[in-house]
Structure 1
Amino acid sequence: MDENRKIIQVLIAICSLFFIIVGYLTYIQLFRSRDFMANTYNRRQYKIEENTSRGNIYDRNGVLLAYSKLEGEEQERIYPYGALYSQVIGYSSKVYGKSQIEAAYNNELLGIDDLSQVFGMVSGSNYPTRKGNNLYLTIDHKLQALGGELLNGRKGAVVAMDPKTGEILALVSSPNFDPGAKKLEENWQSMVESEDAPFLCRAAQGLYAPGSTFKILITAAAIENGMENEVFEDNGSIIIDEREIRNSESKAYGKIDLKKALALSSNVVYAHLGTELGMGSFMDITNRTGFEKEIPFDIPMSKSRFPYESMDKTDLAEAAIGQGKVLVTPLHMAMITSGVANGGIMMEPVLVKSIAHAEGKSNKELKADKLGRIMESDVAEKIRVMMQEVVASGTGHNAAIKGISVAGKTGTAENELSVKKKAKEHSWFVGFAPAEDPKIAVAVIVEYGGSGSEAAVPIAKRIMSQYLSQ
């Protein structure tokens, strides 16, 4: 009996191990196979790539942005517009791997699916015998090129998107780099060590104090808390717990309402609003709009920061004018602006419009989902009217476009150099047009560009004008 019991125990142990292995392999196949397949250390991936003509990448209108060609017995990835798309499409290098869209959609570009992972490898030749899928981005090449031209080498970012669909129309970052394989190998070390951080996609990963563009959210919170019709006394400066906060050039605006305060970007009024609203209102509006949250996107995107565990009156006042510890990405500011333009609904940003077979037949259309409601539609409508006033008679008057209604908000953000009087502030502008039926929303930041109206506004105006005239 003892021997039979031992045999049964051994059989149970063996069967248990068998089922554990089967379960683990099933889990890998169902849930992790694509991750392992896409891993740059996977040698099978290299073999598949040797025998696959990597798919092309196009803009939304069919402009060719990336393709592969044979150089001797090896494929070379060609980027016709050089550095312009280095922070969007990225690079594909045998030495340094892949980045951005080239990495995120590697399987699609190689035509890899569950069956091809098992049966799709062909050996014995360096010449491609398979064709990968093509990608169509949501990017409008004309806008992307214009954004690069307008930044003109200055550090910063330009984001343009359709507020109703979440489609990214332009995603420009500067400085950038030549993604070609040879240039990448030649310049890799110097770029890695560069203080200019050319590999950083400033549009999606750069974190900046939002300055007065953040007042859009404080305005929403003020309206929601019944402060819309209050009249404020603006004497040019306000002292909160021994901290003096001033308007630009210490201008005093006298008695003004909330609409005028936003149009003139009164730091005095918004610092006061911040202390009145309190931390609970701040946490509520920033949570709704996605601060401290991972936002789904096709390429890496940094989380915008509102890292307060407690806030005294000085913290509240500084945060209300977009300073203190508040940090945001240009893409996130474009999304928030789009949320206002879209009646209070923020859309998930999308960069890839569709995937198509090599023969051109559409394989899969990709659409964004709603991320959620960031404010009620009536609140969004009131802010839209206020943002129109910013452009009609306020700090954003240079963003006005003849025959088109524009809503916007300028921002001037202190930085690590400006506080020491060693450089200008960062220049911001966010806006959308036409204001009544928005087709495009933009966010522009120019590092050390000075006031928002000085550097960012002219860029945003040109981007909106270009798109709406097409």
Structure 2
Amino acid sequence: MDENKKIIQVLVAICFLFFIIVGYLTYIQLFRSRDLMANVYNRRQYKIEENTARGNIYDRNGVLLAYSEANGEVQERIYPYGALYSQVIGYSSKVYGKSQIEAAYNNVLLGIDDLSQVFGMVSGSNYPTRKGNNLYLTIDHKLQALGGELLNGRKGAVVAMDPKTGEVLALASSPNFDPHAKKLEENWQSMIESPDAPFLCRATQGLYAPGSTFKILVTAAAVEKGLESKVFDDNGSVVIDGREIRNSESRAYGKIDLKRALAVSSNVVYAQLGTELGMESFVDITYRAGFEKEIPFDIPTSKSRFPYENMNKIDLAEAAIGQGKVLVSPLHMAMITSAIANEGVMMEPVLVKSITNSEGKTTKELKPVKLGNVMEKSVAEKIKIMMQEVVTSGTGHNAAIKGINVAGKTGTAENELSVKKKAKAHSWFVGFAPAEDPKIAVAVIVEYGGSGGDVAASIARRIMSEYLSN
């Protein structure tokens, strides 16, 4: 009898272990299989790639941006436009793995689905070469090329979006790098040690003080509080709790309302406005706009920051003019600007438009997704009118396009060097056009570029004009 009990106990233990193994394998297959397949240390992945030509990547109009070419027994990844798309498409290297779209859509480009991960993917040398799926991006190649050309090697970023769908039309970032595997391996060490950070996609991961571009959100909070008609005294400077805040070149604008204050970018008015609005209004509007939240996107992004737990009057004044601890990415500023253009509704940014199989048949088409309401339609319409005055008679006149109504906002943001008078401020511009029926929204930053009304506004004008001319 004792022996029977022992046998039963052993059988129970074996069954228990068996079910643990089954459960673990089920968990791996259901929840971890994609991560494990995409891991650069997965040797099985290399075997798949040896027999697979990665799918092509195209722009929205069918311009070929990346493809694979047989080089002996090796599939070599070719990028016809070199560094231009290195921060969007990324690279695919057997030595250094993958980045950006090449990483995010690795399984798609290799034609791997959940079933093929289990059956028949690891093959011998006689296995015929497979062809992966193709991607069509939302990017407009002409616009992307123009963005890269206008940055002209300067550090910064150009982001353009369709405000109604969230489709990203251009995502240029500088400096960048040659993504071809051979060049990558030759220059890797010098690039990771470079103070210029060429691997950093400034458009999506760069965080900057927004400067006066942040005033469009402050204006929204002020309109919601019923302050749009209030008249302020602007004497060129104002002292708040011992901290003096000045307008650019200490210009005094006298008695002005909110609309005119936005047009001339009065720091004096907005510093006073910030203290009047208070922390609750700031936290509310920034939360609705997506600060401190992850941005759902196809490639890595950084969360924009509004990291205040408590705010004194100086904090409120500095935040209202886009300085202090406020940090934002160019992509996020383009999304905020798009929300104003889109009646207060923020759309999820989209980078991949559709997927086709090796025969060219569309297997998946991505649809626009609403992220949320940043503000009411009536508030967005009022800010849209104010932003038009910024371009027609304010600091954004360099963004004006003949025959087209442009809405915009300039920004000149202090940085670690400009505070010490060792470099110029960062140059910002955000805007959209045509104002009455927006087709494109842009965010431009040029590091150490100086006045946003000069460098960034001019770049934005060229981008919007090019897109609207097609």
Cα pair 1:427 1:450 within 8 Å, conserved: yes
Summarize deviations over 1:229-268 as a string: whole Å, max 9, x none. Answer: 1111111100001000000000000010110010110000
How big is the shift at 1:4?
5.1
- Specify the code of the residue in structure 1 equivalent to 2:43: R
**1:28 matched to 2:28:** yes
Aligned to 1:114: 114
Taking only the aligned residue pairs, the percentage that are identical comes to: 86
Cα pair 1:229 1:258 within 8 Å, conserved: yes
- Secondary structure of 2:453's counterpart equals helix
| Aligned mates of 2:67, 2:350 — CA distance in 1 | 22
How big is the shift at 1:2?
5.8
- Specify the code of the residue in structure 2 equivalent to 1:316: L
* Runs of 5+ consecutive residues of structure 1 not aligned to the other structure: none
Summarize deviations over 1:257-298 as a string: whole Å, max 9, x none. Answer: 110010110000100011111111111111111111111100
Aligned to 2:340: 340
- Secondary structure of 1:75's counterpart equals strand
**1:319 matched to 2:314:** no
Aligned to 2:402: 402
Return 112-121 or 341-350, whichever deviates more: 112-121
Paired residues for 1:236-315 under 5 Å: 236-315=236-315
Aligned to 2:194: 194
| Aligned mates of 1:253, 1:147 — CA distance in 2 | 35
| Aligned mates of 2:128, 2:280 — CA distance in 1 | 59
How big is the shift at 1:387?
0.5
Summarize deviations over 1:22-77 as a string: whole Å, max 9, x none. Answer: 22221221222111111111111110000001100000000000001011221111
How big is the shift at 1:8?
4.3
Cα pair 1:278 1:316 within 8 Å, conserved: yes
- Specify the code of the residue in structure 2 equivalent to 1:383: I
- Secondary structure of 1:263's counterpart equals helix
**1:77 matched to 2:77:** yes
Cα pair 2:347 2:370 within 8 Å, conserved: yes
- Specify the code of the residue in structure 2 equivalent to 1:82: G
| Aligned mates of 2:32, 2:122 — CA distance in 1 | 23
| Aligned mates of 2:459, 2:468 — CA distance in 1 | 14
- Secondary structure of 2:75's counterpart equals strand
- Specify the code of the residue in structure 2 equivalent to 1:224: E
Cα pair 1:36 1:42 within 8 Å, conserved: yes
| Aligned mates of 2:295, 2:317 — CA distance in 1 | 27
Summarize deviations over 1:279-319 as a string: whole Å, max 9, x none. Answer: 11111111111111111100000000111111111011000
- Secondary structure of 2:41's counterpart equals coil
- Secondary structure of 1:418's counterpart equals coil
- Secondary structure of 2:187's counterpart equals helix
Cα pair 2:212 2:321 within 8 Å, conserved: yes
Aligned to 1:373: 373
**1:131 matched to 2:131:** yes
Cα pair 1:68 1:78 within 8 Å, conserved: yes
- Secondary structure of 2:117's counterpart equals helix
| Aligned mates of 2:176, 2:54 — CA distance in 1 | 24
- Specify the code of the residue in structure 1 equivalent to 2:117: Q
- Specify the code of the residue in structure 2 equivalent to 1:384: K
Aligned to 1:100: 100
- The TM-score, its normalising length taken from structure 2, stands at 0.98
- Secondary structure of 1:123's counterpart equals coil
Return 442-451 or 16-25, whichever deviates more: 16-25
Cα pair 1:55 1:110 within 8 Å, conserved: yes
Cα pair 2:86 2:178 within 8 Å, conserved: yes
- Secondary structure of 2:83's counterpart equals helix
Summarize deviations over 1:324-360 as a string: whole Å, max 9, x none. Answer: 0000000000000000000111000010001101111
| Aligned mates of 1:10, 1:274 — CA distance in 2 | 72
Summarize deviations over 1:66-92 as a string: whole Å, max 9, x none. Answer: 001011221111000000000000000
| Aligned mates of 2:434, 2:276 — CA distance in 1 | 34
How big is the shift at 1:7?
4.6
- The TM-score, its normalising length taken from structure 1, stands at 0.98
Cα pair 2:345 2:374 within 8 Å, conserved: yes
- Secondary structure of 1:318's counterpart equals helix
Aligned to 2:441: 441
- Secondary structure of 1:116's counterpart equals coil
Cα pair 1:406 1:435 within 8 Å, conserved: yes
Aligned to 1:166: 166
Summarize deviations over 1:362-416 as a string: whole Å, max 9, x none. Answer: 1100123111111111111111011011111110011111111100000000000
How big is the shift at 1:127?
8.0
Cα pair 1:50 1:127 within 8 Å, conserved: no
- Secondary structure of 2:115's counterpart equals helix
CA RMSD of aligned residues (A): 1.3
